[in-house]
Structure 1
Amino acid sequence: KCIQVIERRGLDEQGLYRVVGMQSKVNSVVAGHFDAHKTLAQRLATPVEEDIELKTICSALKLYLRTLKEPVFTFKLHNRFIEAAMIDDKADRIRTLHTLLKELPKHNYDLLYILMSHLHKVSQHNEKNLMTPVNLGVCFGPSLLRPEFETVSSIYDIKFRNAIVELIIIHNEKMFQSKLEQQDIDEMVGSSEQDQPTGVNLSNSLSSLASIVRRAPPPTNDMIETTADARRRGLYNPDYHINETNKHLFPPMPEDTVRKECK
């Protein structure tokens, strides 16, 4: 019902899904339409009031997806989706992602199909609403593809999550086909910048993401590990090495002085 209201009233509204609604109103919509304690019939019987702001409805839908006990892409398949996004060969990457989608539980698959079809429609109005597949991927990626446990590595995976959602939005019809023909894959791989409203060749952008090293670089002569400096920057981790050029951004701390005296 929320999707129907959005498509009927606001596909051209600027900042759709990016502009957030008032939290109290958002919570009220979630309680009325997504309350797990209500039966499906009760939830469907709850009308979406026409005077509710679109930003409130959009925020409620995002909040519902974000607070599911298990994300739509599931915890079980999360790492496999991320690994698929890192495959260098574009055709193999698309083929693997398509196969993984079919491994989702039926309810998850059906929900994802409805949502991605809707977001595809939203993206087609990007000249007015400014919500390209890239922007929609940023809005929905972290909610739909969520790891069971947050780690340093999973933080680097955020761009992959967004890019996977972006790809599915752009190639919505093909990604939900029961079988991908080679011609379909060739068309997706060959998508040019002119073909995509995002202005980005998605296959190439995923390749670029996959080339990113997901760990801190090894120390060099120009780098020094300084625990206090790292803590000030909120980056303290034994594997991180802070560039010495940043060392004098803050006044020395006692542990730095002790370190120097020990030397």
Structure 2
Amino acid sequence: MVPPLVVSLIEFLRNYGLEVEGIFRRSAELNAITRLQERINLGKEIDWINDPEYSGDIQKAVIHASVLLKTFLRSLGEPVMTNANYSKLIEIEDPKNNTEAVRNLIWSLKPANFLLLKTVIQFLTEVAAHSHQNLMTPDNLGVVFGPSTSWPTDQQVPLTQIIHLNNFCAKLITDYEVIFEKQ
């Protein structure tokens, strides 16, 4: 149920990107990402190792793949946490210290959303485990992925809510096993 694009991006990033400094924080040229999206929409696979654009520049390939993963999550018609759950997420007081409420919300997701989120967050735990090299701690990853996994599609997000989304996402990473695994 996890989109094949997400699976292939994570597999590539797991194999080549865990030690790249600033993975998920660095940006790519918009035209390059647009070209990649067009190729993917045509059903073409991206060979991150042998493609002429990336041959000999694995760091560029990693950055482009990481941007593509974030872009995929942001381009969903509805966030993976869903619009219906947005207000419930915001109502969780201090998500970093409220494991049970976070867990209950995650387990209320539809199976496809749960599995996609679980797959992404599990990978982000691996990224965070290499933070001594890539500088991407759970808090840094929360800043990047909080607004990518949950946002209201019908309103602007106030700054205080963005911080809440970031903290919620960081909690998913730091307490992955407690939150996502059956008990």
Unmatched 5+ stretches in structure 2: 1-7, 55-60
Q: State the alpha-carbon separation in 1 of the partners of residues 149 and 102 from structure 2.
A: 15
Give 1:155 shift: 3.2
In the alignment, structure 1 residue 95 sits paired with structure 2 residue 103: no
Give 1:112 shift: 0.5
In the alignment, structure 1 residue 72 sits paired with structure 2 residue 84: no
Give 1:117 shift: 0.6
Indicate which of 172, 176, 179 corresponds to 1:175.
179
Q: Which residue of 1 aligns with 2:136?
A: 131
Q: Percent identity?
A: 27
Q: Which residue of 1 aligns with 2:47?
A: 48
Give 1:151 shift: 4.1
After superposition, where does 1:151-170 map in structure 2 within 5 Å? 151=156, 154-170=158-174
Give 1:119 shift: 0.5
Amino acid at match of 2:10: I
In the alignment, structure 1 residue 148 sits paired with structure 2 residue 153: yes
Moved over 6 A (4+): none
Normalised TM-score (structure 2): 0.84
Normalised TM-score (structure 1): 0.59
Give 1:23 shift: 1.2
Unmatched 5+ stretches in structure 1: 180-263
Decide whether aligned partners of structure 1 residues 85 and 115 sit closer, same or farther in structure 2, where only a CA change above 3 A counts: farther
Q: Which residue of 1 aligns with 2:19?
A: 12
Q: State the alpha-carbon separation in 2 of the partners of residues 49 and 126 from structure 1.
A: 23
Conserved 8 A contact 1:78-1:146: yes
**Bigger relative contact order, structure 1 or 2, given CA contacts below 8 A and separation 6+?**
2
Q: Which residue of 1 aligns with 2:4?
A: none
In the alignment, structure 1 residue 29 sits paired with structure 2 residue 36: yes
Decide whether aligned partners of structure 1 residues 151 and 9 sit closer, same or farther in structure 2, where only a CA change above 3 A counts: closer
Q: State the alpha-carbon separation in 1 of the partners of residues 108 and 67 from structure 2.
A: 29
Amino acid at match of 1:177: E
Conserved 8 A contact 1:30-1:64: no
Decide whether aligned partners of structure 1 residues 124 and 78 sit closer, same or farther in structure 2, where only a CA change above 3 A counts: same
Conserved 8 A contact 2:24-2:67: yes
- Three-state SS of the structure 1 residue aligned to 2:25 is coil
Give 1:87 shift: 7.1
- Three-state SS of the structure 2 residue aligned to 1:168 is helix
Give 1:75 shift: 0.4
**Structure ranking higher in helix proportion:** 2
- Three-state SS of the structure 2 residue aligned to 1:157 is helix
Per-residue CA deviations over 1:182-211 (Å, capped at 9, x if unaligned) read: xxxxxxxxxxxxxxxxxxxxxxxxxxxxxx
